[in-house]
Amino acid sequence: MATSHIDDLRSSFPSHFVDRDPVALSDELLRIPTEEPDQKTSQRRGDELDDDEPIFTREEKIEEREDSVEDALAQMPPDKGWEPVNDNLVGVFGGHPGGLTGDSSGPSSVFERLAFYLPFHMFPDWWGIYIFPEGIQRVRCELADVFHDHGIPPREQVRVAKRLLYHHEFYHHATESFATRLEAILNQPCYLNGFSPLYKATFGTAGCLEETCANSYAREKTIAKSVSPSIPKGQLRDAIDLWFRGAPPGYAEAEGSGSVWSKDLRASFYEKCLNSCLPLAGVPARSLGSAGVSAWSAAGYFDRGIGDVRSRIFYIIPKGSPFHSRLPADVRTCIKGRSFKQKLQTLNIARFQKQGGSHELWVPSSGGRPVPIPRHDGVDIPKGTMRGILRQLGARMSIEQFLAA
């Protein structure tokens, strides 16, 4: 399902969605798009681009989306850079499955203090996976012994930590995708009135199967696709499970769940999710038997991600934070997508042509090939990205002239 289909669902079933996109905090946060950790540069296509792919050089993409943040992290010892979660952010981005959690006095094993997921049912513009750079530092601390024992360089440590956080939050997206498919069948707001209340009622207990499954999924994906093959998979599994052992209820139950978690835990979790929604449609809940377990095992596509979440992965950095000051000036000098596009029109550089998936197509006023520009108005466009877009649009001015105009 393309991102545009989510907008169609929102228009067709408005009672299934709400709008919690932040306004006041928008200018206080730097959102830097980043690649899916399993996607390697060598796997990307060559020079051909489609309507939904931004026209930047490969070098610019890597510099802006990975090097700027990940190099800064790799240059820091893993025990440096940790900042408590801001209470204001918790109020805006918390209170839903996978949402940001505060209470920094507890163990760091709660993933939603290190990264978090914003569902498209609640955040039409901001939805996606958000990773705190400080969260990556915390994971590096937790896995420091296994990294040290096998001589894993800092940059590779960052990539392993990023993969673990990404896959945990991706599972929250997969769960929301399952709810969306149920909504198409039951014509009920399953995510808002079923899945979300179930999560809130069980969070912090051993019955919070969504977090148990998310931890299990993240561990198995990280082990299967580790960017550090020099770490024996069994030792990496043991190190992650040791971390889980000290986690709060719900998270801790993932320890030792192994590669078979998807048969039993996933089946139990989705049966509970289904039962939270059936009463909305006036259908009685049902009990899970052996036949039910088999049925869920055969329904793997139910929680397949939709909306191309791979284009919705961000590093989130509060402006003025210690880590923000470590970023290159080209990355810290940014402009919101909304303001950038307004300037393009005001300065007669380009005009809007049509909307693609995660990007819009803009036509140079001087004529020429349409240029994709990030679609979402709240996304920060760094200086290097602006330079690439302006060059493709044929604008004869520097970044400084453009920003000052």
pLDDT in tens, 268-280: 898 899 999 999 9
Q: Tell me the pLDDT of the chain (405 aa) as tens digits.
A: 555 678 888 888 999 999 998 877 767 888 888 888 876 543 433 333 333 344 444 334 434 545 678 888 998 888 765 666 677 788 899 999 999 987 544 445 578 889 999 999 999 989 999 999 989 999 999 999 999 998 899 999 999 999 999 999 999 999 999 999 999 899 999 999 999 999 999 999 999 999 999 999 999 999 987 656 678 889 999 999 999 998 999 999 999 998 778 888 888 898 899 999 999 999 887 776 655 566 677 777 788 888 678 888 999 988 888 888 888 777 777 777 888 898 899 999 999 988 766 678 999 988 888 888 877 676 777 777 788 888 899 888 888 788 887
Main-chain phi, psi angles of 68, to 5 degrees: -60, -45
- What is the SS3 assignment for 313? strand
Q: How many CA within 13 A on the CB side of residue 44?
A: 18
Task: Give dist(CA 132, CA 127) in Å, integer.
Answer: 15
Cβ of 7: how many Cβ atoms within 10 Å? 14
Structural contact between residues 76 and 189, judged by C-beta atoms closer than 8 angstroms = no
Q: Which CATH superfamily is domain 333-404 in?
A: Hypothetical protein. (3.30.920.30)
pTM: 0.82
Which of 152, 156, 104 has its CA nearest to residue 132? 104
Task: Tell me whether strands 313-318 and 128-131 are parallel, antiparallel or unpaired.
Answer: parallel
Which amino acid would we find at residue 127? W
- pLDDT, residue 195, reads 97
pLDDT of residue 288: 65
Question: Other CB atoms closer than 10 Å to residue 282's CB: what's the count?
Answer: 8
How far apart CA 162 and CA 131 sit, in angstroms, is: 8
Amino acid type, 6: I
Q: What span, in angstroms and rounded, lies between the C-alpha atoms of 238 and 241?
A: 5
| Domain boundaries defined on the chain | 3-314, 333-404
Q: What are phi and psi of 353, to 5 degrees?
A: -110, -55
